[in-house]
Chain A
């Protein structure tokens, strides 16, 4: 087994399996609200395949990244606005 990848989600360190998506890391950090909708509702992943845009987070300062389409890299800083 390759070493786990360590990254942070809202400042909390999470270790995920190599190849895991950022959406998985956010869930493993115990966060279920990945973003707030235009009327302020908590939202999380729906489609898991890059179509619905509900799992958008900020990755290394870049906003609106679809967390289900980005593979975790060591040291990544992920922020949710949920």
Chain B
């Protein structure tokens, strides 16, 4: 028996989840929206923004029940989720489920990447947004994708000394991408103005980080060019995003090459389970919002409402495809980790130990790679890129949970 029953449960309170919850509630459904984070808005809005607050007001007006700090760790029975909060565990029942679990950054291992103050681009921004003083700190921003520009802009606006932005994609690809999206170009130009004087170096990536106990400098390389070392307090890096599909896989949903497979109504291969936003493939804010709306309408039974948004979704999907093409990861990045470089940070498994394995399953069994608390969420994305390994299976709990929560 579930402790709470809803018509529609939305997992994830980022743009896709908020849009889905509001649309489903507008259809007259009893809706709950839950998120592992203490604040709504997902990683892009992180609660503090005007957009997130606007959506939350709308959700509240529509009677959406908001469960903060709620982590789904199992699906113990059909149409039921096991959820852990700071206060304890509860079972949430649903008729329809909408997965809006978002994405995380892809971290590629290189010598020194485990040093404190080597952080995800989004990770450092999150700390800064939460009040960590960043003024005067020397920051190198590196990796790939438009997120790097947004993060560098935010950090600089808050007084950080952003030394440079290293983008692994070649300049021609970035320029082609920017020219094909004039509306986004305007936003890009606004970003550039805020970044005036900060070098944006394409075909460039970090090869090693150095320091005793914490980061002191980063060595960067430019394709076919020089290698040099920058002193810095922080490295904010990430090689694009990867969808969070673990809960979907646990529920039996099929995957596509991009993320969770969905049909035109955002329904997964499992009847009554929908998915929207980055979990179905990396596509940015606008696509997440429209997919969330479609999923909300579909779960709420408003087929016409859902259909009216198919055109908008198609347009935003073209942008997603262009994004993927422009910022495709170059093969040289596979050579970043050295024999002794740790790949799995939870269990401290080095590259050379993984090189003796032939697949992800064997690596888990022989080295404990991916068996620590993050359950392969960090090293899995790296192993996929480095070795073409796919993690085929997910077992409960999908997140570490207290023994008391699991013993029910």
Contact = CB atoms under 8 A, between A and B. Distances in A.
21 contacts: A16-B131, A32-B213, A37-B114, A38-B346, A38-B347, A38-B348, A42-B116, A43-B345, A44-B116, A46-B120, A46-B345, A48-B123, A49-B37, A49-B43, A51-B374, A51-B377, A54-B345, A64-B373, A64-B400, A68-B123, A68-B126
Nearest to B43: A49
Interface residues of B, number: 41
Contacts of B125: 48
A28 B133 contact: yes
Nearest to A28: B132
B123 A49 contact: yes
Contacts of A45: 119, 123, 127
Contacts, number: 113
Interface string A32-69: 11100111011111111111111010000000100011
A49 B122 contact: yes
Contacts of A43: 114, 116, 345
A47 B120 contact: yes
What is the predominant secondary structure among interface residues of chain B facing chain A? Answer: loop
A31 to B, nearest CB: 9
A5 B204 CA distance: 42
Interface of A: 16-17, 19-21, 23-24, 27-28, 32-34, 37-39, 41-54, 56, 64, 68-71, 82
Given A32-B214, A41-B114, A70-B86, 10 more contacts: A19-B131, A23-B127, A28-B132, A32-B213, A45-B123, A45-B127, A46-B118, A49-B123, A53-B346, A69-B69
